[in-house]
Structure formats: structure tokens, C-alpha cells
């Protein structure tokens, strides 16, 4: 992009931005003639994708700021008003502990209000899953949560929701994107005026209380807490996010002893004690694990900043803790819930579980062992919710409550969660799942990512890690085929998404897809090794060796 064009876009942004801090950032860059930074901020508009917005906070069209949030909300308003007829329209807004989350959420609320759509705005930060609950509780037509999930502190984001409480999916997603891209004028109004006209209503306890009650209602064996809760010690960290309020409340009501990591309890958008607030990463749980070891905790739990993700670690029997991966926790939950429904005589006539296409196939095997179906959907909570709209979605708080119940149940049977997980592996094979991601920053980043995906489509790999690729599934083109007979294709029963999956001769599945909200490409390796005469230890070693080799091949492509 030429210098004059960049400067013209920068001055256009300054004229449109309402926040003086973001304006001043760009004015200072122009004054300093910092064309490298200006180009990064203006070479494109931050894309409103199917997952909403996510980007670095700052002034510019390619940043998260008040103008970008207001423009996106105006496009959402335009679509809602054209699509939903015959009722008074409303929207719910929640936000997390990130920098500017409160500012952006109010920006959005005032856009809704000025467009005649009543905005329900939480008085303070709340978990993302409570936003979904609030939409249904209040009968709202849409919703927004301002969060960048588990991204680093420099980021913020914006997730849009439909009237069923799930993130927006097709056909609404693409149509909303079109409306956002065509916005020419943005309507807003002062906060006091919005409240006076009944177009802005602040909410808190009227949603909090029924939300907590809902979480408790999802427990399968509440009597376990009465009998055993006093003997179980939980160490918890919200990683400076939104989770502590509800987590401590729910666990306390159940009679569990919860010790929250004091240094990480207070909301803080700098996330000062962690480099990356992802509860599934061992580094993020360091302080919680150290505290757990000191107090001899039975389980360590952590939420990400917006509390829609749960990570746990359990004692390893040697004085330390073992981190349970998201796939492993999902397998434990599926096993425990299906087992409990069967034992309690509450198994539905057609039991089913839902997983994404990059989630462990161990779930499919567990489901089959209980006579349940397993349905696959695209990656992301919104697609899971889209598949099971008539059910309440499990979230980071209710998943924690279920984890506590599951811990008590297996303790009552004389087993730890690790011991139960090993039993599952022996029955269904050891499943090792590993991911690999690479960021591509700057003006050429998206082009590089597209080049990688185009390269795969032009020349599919014959092997990965020395193991032959037997079958290929391209979710973007909707076609799947066997390598031995590429002309005989079958249809992929999923919405189009930029993802390719390779099925290897040993049963391993490898998926590659660009992120929908960030400039990065993601790989998922899902490997299975049968537990044979050498036992589980041998199966784990064999899996690690072959996954290492596959990841080495992938790195040759992405650098």
C-alpha cells in the first residue's frame, strides 16, 4: 500500500474515532512519520469474521478500538432490524477483565440504544456463558461479549450471539458481515439519555441467581457433595479473569473447600502473573500447581479470562500434579455422564454426544461403548451449540461443578481421575492429541496463510511422519476421497470451512485450518495406539514418537 493511501486512511480514521486515546496514538504516528507501524494499522480493516472481531488494542482500522466496535455493532443492528419483525428488539452485553472491555461494551450498548434496540448491560464483568444464559432468560434477539478469550494482554475481541444464546452461525454470519462492511453512518446516544428513554438497562443479580441455580441443576449426583464434599480440597485460579465470583459461589454452596490463588484472584487485564492466560497450558497453572502441592489439593482448576474454558490438574501420586488436557477432560466427562445416566436409569432413548472435527476420536469410542451416537461439527463452541440448540451448553463454571462431582464419584469407588483415565485408554486405545500453531503477522500474513492452504490443495502430502495418507477430506470444497482412487469423491456433510483433514494408514487424523479470528494457522494431530502386550507405557511411548515425526514434517512447511 502506497504512503499517501496509508496516510489518507489514517486521517479518515482520526475523523471517525470518538475515543481521544486512540485518536492520539494515530496522530503521534503520523507526526513521527512511522510508516511501518501505520501500514500495519491501516493496510486492511480488522475483519468481522464468523466469530466476530479479535485483534490488538489500539488506534487504526486494523485494531480493536471504539470506532471498530461501534461500526460492527451498527452493522449488527442493521441486520437485526431487517430480519426480526413484529416485536420490541433487545440485546444483552457482557464483558471480561481485558483492557477497554468496559468501554467497548458501553460503546456497543449505546449503538443498540440509538437504533431503538433495548440494551441489557451487565454492571460489571461476567463470564461469557452467562451472556448466553442472559439472552435466553431475557428473550433478547442478539448479544455481544467483549473478550479475547485466552489471548495475550494486548488483545481484545467481540463475539456476536443470536437469540438462542449461541454464537452466530449460518446463514446469519455471512449476512451480518455484509452489513458491517456496508456501514456508512453510525448512530449513538449519550448514556443518560439511553437510560432515561428505557433503552439501556443495567443487569446483575436478576441474571446471576438463576444462572447459578442452572449450574447446580446440571449435577447428576448432588448427594455426593453432602456425603463427601468436606473431605475434598480444591485449588482454583481465574487467571485474573471473570470466573472467581461464580466459581467460588457454586463450589461453596456445594460444601467444597476452595482456595483461590490470591495473586491471580483480582481481575486484571495485564494478566501480570502469566504470559498467556490459557488454563490448558502448564505455564499458566504454575502458581496454582505450587499452591496445590503445598496444601495437598485433590484437584486444581482454572478458567480462562472469560470463563468459557476449564483446565484441570490432578495429583500424580508422587507429590506433584498431572495436567489433564482438554480432550482428556472431555473424555472423562463423557464417560462419567453416560455411566451415571445408565446407573441412575436416566439414559435417554437416543443418547448422543457432540464433538468438533478436531476433537479426540476417543469420544466416539466412549459413546459407542454406552450405545450413544457421536455427532461431529465444525470447530468452536458456536457449532456445538448450533447442533444442540435445545440443550443448555456446558461452560467453564458448570464444567467445573461436573468435574468436582466426577472427582467425588471416582473417589467413592477408590479411584483417582488419572486411574479412571488410564482404564479408558486401556479399553479404547491410548489417544494422544497435540496441536501446533504459527502466527503470520503484518500485511503479508494473510497471503502467506492462504499460500500454505493453496499449496496443500495443489499437492496433498503422501505421508506424514513416514505414515501414508489414506484418505483426504477438504471441508472447504465439501469433498472427500481415498488417495488410491482420487476420482471417486464423496460429499462432506458439514458447512464449508477452510480446513483440510488427512486420515493416515495407522488411524491418525491430522487437521489444518487457518484461525477465523487471528492471523495464525492451526494443526491438530489426533493419534491412537492400541494398548498391547507392552502395556499403556509402551503405547504412550509409541504415540509420542510418531506424533513427533508428524509435527516435524509440518514444520518443514510452515517454517
Taking CA 17 as the corner, what is the angle to CA 89 and CA 91, rounded to the nearest 5 degrees? Answer: 15
Concerning whether 149 is annotated as a catalytic residue, the answer is yes
CA angle, 326 as apex, 324 and 332 as ends, to 5°? 70
Catalytic, out of 66, 90, 97, 149: 149
**Beta-bridge mates of residue 437:** 522
CA distance 407 to 232: 9
Asked whether the beta carbons of 201 and 389 are under 8 A apart, the reply is no
**Quick one: which H or E segment has residue 166?**
none
CB 359 within 8 A of CB 352: no
Alpha-carbon distances, residue 188 vs 18, 66, 108, 113 (angstroms): 11, 12, 9, 7
Dist. CA 96–CA 413, nearest whole Å: 39
Cell matching residue 314: 490432578
Residue 58: cis peptide before it, omega within 30 degrees of 0 = no
User: Quick check: 281 and 431 in contact, CB under 8 A?
Assistant: no
Which among 398, 327, 417 has a CA at the least distance from the CA of 363?
A: 327
- The distance of Cα 68 from the centroid of its chain, to the nearest Å, equals 22
Beta-carbon count within 10 A of 345 CB = 6
Distances (CA, A) of 98 to 93, 103, 240, 272, 363: 15, 10, 9, 12, 34
Query: What's the Cα-to-Cα distance from 11 to each of 31, 68, 72, 473, 483, rounded to whole Å?
Result: 12, 15, 20, 46, 53
The grid coordinates of residue 9 equal 486512511
The count of other CB atoms within 10 Å of the CB of residue 223 is 10
Give the whole-angstrom CA distance, residue 264 versus residue 242. Answer: 11
DSSP string, 506-550: TS-EEEEEE-SSSSEEEEEEEEEE---TTHHHHHHHHHHHHHHHH
Task: For cell 502467506, name the residue.
Answer: 448
Asked if residues 343 and 364 have their Cβ atoms less than 8 Å apart, the reply is no
The CA distance from 391 to 275, in Å, is 35
**Residues recognised as catalytic:** 149
Amino acid at each position: 500500500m502506497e504512503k499517501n493511501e496509508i496516510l489518507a486512511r489514517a486521517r479518515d480514521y482520526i475523523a471517525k474515532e470518538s475515543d481521544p486515546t486512540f485518536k492520539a496514538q494515530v496522530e503521534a504516528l503520523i507526526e513521527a512519520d512511522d510508516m511501518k507501524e501505520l501500514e500495519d494499522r491501516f493496510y486492511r480493516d480488522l475483519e468481522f469474521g464468523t466469530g466476530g472481531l479479535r485483534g490488538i488494542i489500539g488506534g487504526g482500522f486494523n485494531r480493536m478500538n471504539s470506532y471498530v466496535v461501534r461500526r460492527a455493532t451498527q452493522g449488527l443492528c442493521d441486520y437485526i432490524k431487517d430480519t426480526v419483525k413484529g416485536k420490541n428488539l433487545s440485546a444483552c452485553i457482557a464483558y471480561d477483565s481485558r483492557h477497554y472491555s468496559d468501554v467497548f461494551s458501553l460503546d456497543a450498548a449505546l449503538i443498540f440504544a440509538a437504533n431503538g434496540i433495548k440494551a441489557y448491560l451487565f454492571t460489571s464483568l461476567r463470564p461469557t456463558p452467562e451472556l448466553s444464559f442472559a439472552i435466553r432468560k431475557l428473550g433478547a434477539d442478539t448479544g455481544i461479549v467483549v473478550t479475547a478469550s485466552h489471548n495475550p494482554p494486548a488483545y481484545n475481541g467481540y463475539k456476536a450471539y443470536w437469540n438462542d444464546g449461541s454464537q452466530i452461525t449460518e446463514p446469519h454470519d455471512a449476512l451480518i458481515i455484509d452489513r458491517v462492511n456496508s456501514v456508512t453512518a453510525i448512530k449513538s446516544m449519550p448514556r443518560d439519555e439511553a437510560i432515561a428513554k428505557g433503552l439501556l438497562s443495567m443487569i446483575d443479580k436478576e441474571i446471576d441467581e438463576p444462572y447459578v441455580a442452572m449450574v447446580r441443576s446440571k449435577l447428576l449426583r448432588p448427594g455426593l457433595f453432602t456425603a463427601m464434599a468436606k473431605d475434598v480440597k480444591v485449588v482454583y485460579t481465574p487467571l485474573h479473569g471473570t470466573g472467581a465470583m461464580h466459581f467460588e459461589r457454586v463450589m461453596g454452596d456445594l460444601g467444597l473447600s476452595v482456595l483461590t490463588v490470591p495473586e491471580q484472584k483480582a481481575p486484571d487485564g495485564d494478566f501480570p502473573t502469566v504470559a498467556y492466560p490459557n488454563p490448558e497450558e502448564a505455564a499458566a497453572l504454575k502458581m496454582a500447581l505450587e499452591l496445590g502441592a503445598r496444601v495437598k489439593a485433590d484437584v486444581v482448576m482454572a478458567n480462562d479470562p472469560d470463563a468459557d474454558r476449564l483446565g484441570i490438574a490432578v495429583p500424580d501420586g508422587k507429590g506433584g500434579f498431572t495436567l489433564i488436557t482438554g480432550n482428556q477432560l472431555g473424555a472423562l466427562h463423557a464417560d462419567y455422564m453416560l455411566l451415571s445416566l445408565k446407573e441412575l436409569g436416566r439414559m435417554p432413548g437416543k443418547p448422543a454426544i457432540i464433538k468438533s472435527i478436531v476433537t479426540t476420536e476417543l469420544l466416539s469410542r466412549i459413546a459407542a461403548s454406552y450405545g450413544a451416537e457421536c455427532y461431529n461439527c465444525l470447530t468452536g463452541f458456536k457449532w456445538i451449540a448450533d447442533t444442540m440448540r435445545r440443550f443448555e451448553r456446558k461452560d467453564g463454571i458448570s464444567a467445573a461443578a461436573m468435574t468436582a462431582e466426577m472427582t467425588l464419584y471416582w473417589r467413592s469407588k477408590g479411584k483417582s481421575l488419572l486411574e479412571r483415565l488410564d482404564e479408558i485408554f486401556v479399553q479404547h486405545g491410548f489417544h494422544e492429541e497435540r496441536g501446533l500453531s504459527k502466527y503470520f503477522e503484518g500485511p503479508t500474513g494473510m497471503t502467506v496463510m492462504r499460500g500454505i492452504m493453496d499449496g496443500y490443495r495443489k499437492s496433498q502430502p503422501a505421508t506424514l511422519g513416514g505414515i501414508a495418507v489414506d484418505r483426504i477430506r477438504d471441508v472447504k470444497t465439501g469433498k472427500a476421497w481415498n488417495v488410491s482412487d482420487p476420482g471417486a469423491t464423496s460429499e462432506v456433510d458439514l458447512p464449508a470451512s477452510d480446513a483440510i483433514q488427512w486420515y493416515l494408514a495407522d488411524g491418525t487424523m491430522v487437521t489444518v485450518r487457518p484461525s477465523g479470528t487471528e492471523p495464525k494457522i492451526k494443526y491438530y494431530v489426533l493419534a491412537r495406539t492400541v494398548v498391547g502386550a507392552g502395556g499403556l507405557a509402551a503405547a504412550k511411548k509409541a504415540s509420542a514418537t510418531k506424533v513427533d515425526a508428524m509435527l516435524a514434517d509440518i514444520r518443514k512447511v510452515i517454517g
